[in-house]
Structures are given as C-alpha cells and as structure tokens.
Amino acid sequence: MHGMINCALQGFLISTYGSGIWTEVRDQAGLPADGFEAMLRYDDAQTIHCVEAACQVLHKHPNAFLEDVGTWLVTNQRMEPLRRLLRFAGPTFLDFLHSLEELGDRGQLAMPELDLPDLTLHRLDPSSYRLSVRWGLLGAAPVFLGCLRAMADDYGALAFLHLDGIEDGAEWVHIQLLDSAFAEGRSFALGGAAS
Amino acid sequence: MMASPPRLARLIQRAAPVLDMLMPMHLWLDLAGGVLQSGPTLEKMVGDGALIGRGVFDVLEIRRPIATSRLDDLLPYAGQRLALGLTSAPDLPLRGTLAVLPSATGYILDISLGLSFARAVREFDLTLSDFSPCDQTVELMYLHEANASTAALSRRLSERLETARAAAEVQALTDPLTGLANRRAMDQAIVEALADRQTVFTVLHIDLDFFKQVNDTLGHAAGDRVLTEVGRILATEVRDADLAARVGGDEFLVLLRDLTDATGVAALAQRLISRIEVPVEHDGHQCRVSASIGSATVAQIDRRPSLDEVLADTDVALYAAKRAGRGRHMQFDDHTLAAPEARRAQDPPSLRAHTEQTKRTPSSGR
C-alpha cells in the first residue's frame, strides 16, 4: 500500500479525533511508532489493521468510518491541495463524474507508484449513474461515497449517492444527479494554488 | 482570386464559433494583417475589448525566428513555431503558428501559452473553460501543482531523515555514561588534527588508579558514579576547541589543540589529577581514585606521525607514569624514554604486560 493512503488515514484520525485516539489505534494495530510516511510503501495488512483498530476504538461501522475519511479528504483545510487536484477534472460535477475513469492515470501523473482503484461510470439514464469500484482491498467504495458527496457540494451540485452492493468483483456506488448547478459551490481558480 | 468582402464576412461569421471552440486563442487576419476575428481567451488576455479592426502587430510582438512587424517577413515562416508576446504583457512568452488560408481569405495565427503557462493562467485568471477540452494546458497545471505537493512531501521526508541521521551520528560518537566523546570520535578528531598541518596539539592518555578497588568493594554503581564525575571534570577543564573522550572502562583521552609547551601540559595534567583525587561520595561511602597520565605532543609540521604512533607514544608515557608510582603525569620524549626505533621494537610486549597487569579493557589495547 502506498504510504500516501496510510498517511491519509492517520491524518484523518489525528485531525478529527486527536492524537490520543491515533496513539490508541496505532498501538492496537501495531503500526510504526513514528506513524506512516507518505513516501514509503507498506504492507496492505497494516492498512487493514489500521482501519480495523480505528473502527474498534471509535465504535464505528467500517463503511461509516471510511465514508468519513472520504469526506475529510475533500473538505479538510489541510487537504486543500488534493481538492484542487480533483477539481482539475472538469468545470462541472458531471464533467467530474465522467472523468473518474481517468482518476488512476491522474493519480499516477502525480505519483507514479500510487495505485488507485479502477473506476467505471455506467450511465443508467441522463441523471442516474452507477460507479463500479475495483481495488485490491474492499472498502474503497465507501471512501469514494464520502469523497463524491463532498465533491458534489464543492461543485454546488445536488446529488444523492448511496452504496449499491458488491457484484462482479466490484463495489458499486449509485449516483442520482438532480441539479448540476443547485448552489454556488466552492471556488476553484485554475491558477489559484498557494505558491 | 480574392474573396469579396461580403462573402468573407459571411464565411467568418459561420466559422467563428468553431474556431473559438477549437482555438480559443486565435486571430484571423486579412491579407494586410488586420484582425478580422479573434478567439475569446486571447481577447480576455489582451483585456481591452474586441480586437477586430486592430493590426496584428499592434496586438502582438513577433520575436523568433524573426523579429518583425511586417507580415510579408513572417509569411515564409508559416507553419513553424513562432515565439511571440502580447504588446500588453510583453514579459510573458507565448508561442504561435501562422497558417495561410486558401482563396486569399487571409491567415489564421493560433497562439498557446508555452512554458510560462502557470504564470499566464494566474495573471489572466484563466479558467477550465478558457481552454479547448483537447488542450493539455489544464493537465500541465494539474501536474505543476501535483509536483509541488509531492516535492514538499519528499522534502519533509528528507528533513526527517536528516534529523534522525544527525541524532544517530551524535549517538555513535558519544559515550553514553559520561556524555564525553567515544573512541571513534576521538580517533576521527586526532586523524583530522594530524591531516591539518597547521594544527599542533597534545594528547593526554588518562588511566584511573584504584578504580578496580572501588568497583570491587563498592559495586558497579559506585564505579559508574566515579566515571561520571571524571567525565564532568574533563568536560569542565577542557576548552571548547579541545575534545575529551572515554575510550575504555576507566581510560580517557583528551585532545588539546594548540597546547604544546611542556609546562602548560604538565600544569593541566596536575590539575586534572588533583581534581580526580577529590573523593566522590556514593551511598555514604567515599570513593577514592587517582589518575596516571601520559601525554604526547605533536608540534612538528613537517613530520606528522600516524594516529597509531601518537597513541603508542601516550601509552609509553602512561606506562612510565604508572611505573613511577601512579598519581602522576609523564610526557613522552624520544630521548628520555627510548630511541624511537628501539621503542617501537621493544615496547609492545611490555605494554601488553602492563595492560594485563592493570586489567584494562581489550578495546583500549592498540
């Protein structure tokens, strides 16, 4: 597992619940004392142990926990660079949805060893979509659920999303897009990166 | 054959939406270089309304391959890459290419941002919709930001590793009990001092007397207490430029830079012995030790001994001090102790015997 993903889990736990909770999760899961390092690789088992321990310490269902992680990735101030990178995908939420299949390639442009899930968007009708999420580990779909809900808000779109089961070896997310321009959304200036 | 003005105007009107979408930074020029139509992004960048009717060289400066403000000069370079800039923002380099339209309907000059894209996007506040969906500039912007983020992560990792490395190095050069330098650090410092021919120095070799008795009768904790105290004495007696190290169980080396006169060395050694002889209290007991010190001075800049020779010299002097009754200091001297050749040949066995006799740790033997 890429250290970036483990670091996201650690960052979420510390910024949301404090370093005491992180220490508890770290010790229970047997994670490195200094925490994860974004530029290193880790055994997948450490990621799984980290999520399991977090759910146990926080008394949360894994889906709920992972959805919160997804929301945090987009909405937390610390993660603003990531939100910006996601917004490069297109000017509207619909453009963003259609660009999700490129997400793996986009991720690898940023970090050549980053292994993101394979995403495929299936159109059911002009406002309904199903997204298939395929990854080495289960649990990517709830992360994307949280992430996509937050991105819909970010674009000012009105959308309903829910987990839609596991079939054909993939996790599925159902997306109902009601209004692409429902609200103002958060600003995105193409040249607006803090430099 | 030249298109009639009304026909050309109709043609431009029909083609404009397509050109604006595919090439949002283009100019359509007439045969004299007047702007007939311009793309919306270019208009946004120039910033003072429609460009129609203006001359191309009023809007742009052409710089390479030829710096010119005559259209005729430019025509031979049709299809090639042009380096150019806006007259309204000359410090922002752009690139472009000129295409000749058929039937004397004029020229298309298409423009793109070139390598200063990030600055251009910021300065002109360009958005995703200012670019053709096929234009990779937005991906370049993405990559530009992603690179900055990952570079920051790499930099932080390097900084953390550097801190850890520095901490490990300090540990590797320090004696944990006394906080003095260790043998590795001392060897390194002497080698460096020898290599710098400007540096003259003296090395003291200190061996505690009666330390074994303290250890045997009062225990290791008392012994450690004595060693810590000696460490403290050495640390306070030497100057910043000097170095004190614990190099064996009860053995210490001190490197004294720029101190070569025998009187000064003797005075310092005597002061160290006096302070070490002050009893140290441990658990209600007085721990009494003394010290024997051998010193060797490197004062010649033309003939530098090796590290091993310097240490052997201090060993010889230390042995002489022990033999003379302990609790005293002897300076190594080629003439008084032995001729150098004879000493090198004879002394190792006698030094070894001395080592066994005083039960020095194996690491101290050289």
What is the tens place of the pLDDT at every residue in A162-187?
999 999 999 999 999 998 888 888 88
Instruction: Give dist(CA A94, CA A71) in Å, integer.
Output: 19
Contact: A190, B138; criterion CB under 8 Å: yes
Q: Flag the least confident range among A187-191, B74-78, B200-204, B258-262.
A: A187-191
Task: Evaluate whether B49 touches B128 at the Cβ level (below 8 Å).
Answer: no
B265 pLDDT exceeds 80? yes
pLDDT of residue B128: 87
pLDDT of residue B190: 95
| Nearest CA-CA distance, residue A8 and chain B, Å | 13
* Rounded average pLDDT per 10-residue block, chain A, 195 residues: 94 97 96 91 95 97 97 94 91 94 91 92 95 95 97 96 95 94 85 67
Furthest-apart CA atoms within chain B: distance in Å: 121
Mean pLDDT of B136-153: 90
| Nearest CA-CA distance, residue B219 and chain A, Å | 37
Is residue B1 very low, low, confident or very high in pLDDT (cuts 50, 70, 90)?
A: low
B356 pLDDT exceeds 50? no
| Cα separation values, A137 from A4, A105, A133, A166, Å | 16, 19, 10, 13
Contact: A191, B142; criterion CB under 8 Å: no
Instruction: Give dist(CA B316, CA B305) in Å, integer.
Output: 15
> Which residues of chain A neighbour B164 with C-beta distances below 8 Å?
none
Burial label, B302 (beta-carbon count in 10 A; 0-12, 13-18, 19+): exposed
The backbone torsions φ and ψ at residue A104, rounded to the nearest 5 degrees and listed phi first, read: -60, -45
B360 pLDDT exceeds 50? no
**According to the per-residue pLDDT averaged within each range, which of A187-191, B94-98, B145-149, B340-344 is highest?**
B94-98
Please tell me which residue of chain A has the smallest CA distance to B148.
Answer: A195
- For residue B124, the SS3 value is coil
Is residue B288 very low, low, confident or very high in pLDDT (cuts 50, 70, 90)?
A: very high
The total number of residues shown for chain A amounts to: 195
In terms of phi and psi (left: phi > 0; alpha: psi -120 to 50; beta: otherwise), the region of B47 is left
Query: What single-letter DSSP state applies at residue A117?
Result: P
Mean pLDDT of B37-58: 93
> Which residues of chain B neighbour A84 with C-beta distances below 8 Å?
145
Residue B224 annotated in active site: no
Long-range contacts of A80-83 (CB under 8 A, 24+ apart): A80/A194, A81/A193, A81/B145, A81/B149, A83/A154, A83/A186
Q: Where are the alpha helices (DSSP H) in A34-177?
A: 44-58, 62-75, 80-87, 93-98, 103-110, 140-155
Contact: A190, B141; criterion CB under 8 Å: yes
pLDDT of residue A180: 83
> Which residues of chain B neighbour A114 with C-beta distances below 8 Å?
none
Give the pair of three-digit tokens for residue B339.
């001729």
Of B110, B242, B250, B347, catalytic: B250
Contact: B145, A81; criterion CB under 8 Å: yes
- The number of CA neighbours under 13 Å toward the Cβ of A43 is 7
Contact: B128, A193; criterion CB under 8 Å: no
Q: In what order do the strands lie in the sheet with B329-331?
A: B243-246, B251-257, B201-209, B290-298, B329-331
- For residue B82, the SS3 value is strand
Q: Where are the alpha helices (DSSP H) in chain B?
A: 5-22, 40-46, 56-59, 71-74, 117-123, 137-172, 183-195, 211-218, 220-237, 262-277, 307-323, 334-337, 340-358
> Which residues of chain B neighbour A81 with C-beta distances below 8 Å?
145, 149
If interface means Cβ-Cβ distance under 8 Å, which residues of chain B face chain A? 118, 121-123, 125-130, 138-139, 141-150, 153-154, 157, 160
pLDDT of residue B196: 87
Contact: A110, B139; criterion CB under 8 Å: no
Higher-confidence residue of B238 and B3: namely: B238
Between B123, B142, B153, which is nearest A85 by CB? B142
Contact: A110, B149; criterion CB under 8 Å: yes
Between B118, B129, B138, which is nearest A88 by CB? B138
Instruction: Give dist(CA B172, CA B366) in Å, integer.
Output: 21
Task: Evaluate whether B186 touches B255 at the Cβ level (below 8 Å).
Answer: yes
pLDDT of residue B88: 93
Between B118, B139, B143, which is nearest A191 by CB? B118
- For residue B44, the SS3 value is helix
Contact: A193, B125; criterion CB under 8 Å: no
CA angle B340, B345, B350 (to 5 degrees): 105
Sign of the four-CA dihedral B293, B299, B302, B307: positive
> Which residues of chain A neighbour B145 with C-beta distances below 8 Å?
81, 84-85, 88, 193
Question: Which of B153, B155, B159, B160 to mutate to test binding with chain A, by most A CBs within 10 Å of its CB?
Answer: B153
CB contacts < 8 A, A to B, total: 59
Give the pair of three-digit tokens for residue B334.
């080629």
For chain B, report the end-to-end CA distance as a whole number of angstroms.
Answer: 102
pLDDT of residue B339: 38
Mean pLDDT of B299-310: 88
pLDDT of residue B334: 59
pLDDT of residue B48: 80
Task: Evaluate whether B337 touches B343 at the Cβ level (below 8 Å).
Answer: yes
Q: Which of B9, B11, B6, B46 is nearest to B26 (CA)?
A: B46
Contact: B150, A111; criterion CB under 8 Å: yes
Please tell me which residue of chain A has the smallest CA distance to B138.
Answer: A88
pLDDT of residue A103: 93
Contact: A110, B123; criterion CB under 8 Å: no
pLDDT of residue B274: 96
Contact: A191, B129; criterion CB under 8 Å: no
The total number of residues shown for chain B amounts to: 366
pLDDT of residue A150: 97
Contact: A193, B127; criterion CB under 8 Å: no
B139 pLDDT exceeds 50? yes
> Which residues of chain B neighbour A191 with C-beta distances below 8 Å?
118, 121-123, 125-126, 141
The backbone torsions φ and ψ at residue B244, rounded to the nearest 5 degrees and listed phi first, read: -115, 140
Instruction: Give dist(CA B147, CA B132) in Å, integer.
Output: 23
Per residue, the 3-state secondary structure of B141-182, as one string, reads HHHHHHHHHHHHHHHHHHHHHHHHHHHHHHHHCECCCCCCEC
**Mean pLDDT taken over chain B:** 88
If interface means Cβ-Cβ distance under 8 Å, which residues of chain A face chain B? 4, 37-39, 81, 84-85, 88, 90-91, 106, 109-111, 189-193, 195
Element (H, E) at A31: none
In terms of phi and psi (left: phi > 0; alpha: psi -120 to 50; beta: otherwise), the region of A55 is alpha
B365 pLDDT exceeds 80? no
Instruction: Give dist(CA A12, CA A49) in Å, integer.
Output: 16
Residue-wise pLDDT for B173-199, tens only, equals 999 899 999 999 999 999 999 988 888
pLDDT of residue B359: 38
Task: Say what the pTM is.
Answer: 0.68
Task: Evaluate whether B112 touches B45 at the Cβ level (below 8 Å).
Answer: no
Is residue B234 very low, low, confident or very high in pLDDT (cuts 50, 70, 90)?
A: very high
Cβ-proximal residues to A112 (8 Å cutoff; 6+ apart), any chain: none
> Which residues of chain A neighbour B138 with C-beta distances below 8 Å?
88, 190
| Nearest CA-CA distance, residue A155 and chain B, Å | 13
Between A81, A88, A190, which is nearest B126 by CB? A190
Q: Please state the separation of Cα B283 from the chain's center in Å.
A: 48
Instruction: Give dist(CA B78, CA B30) in Å, integer.
Output: 15
Task: Evaluate whether A113 touches B173 at the Cβ level (below 8 Å).
Answer: no
Instruction: Give dist(CA B338, CA B316) in Å, integer.
Output: 9
Cβ-proximal residues to B345 (8 Å cutoff; 6+ apart), any chain: none
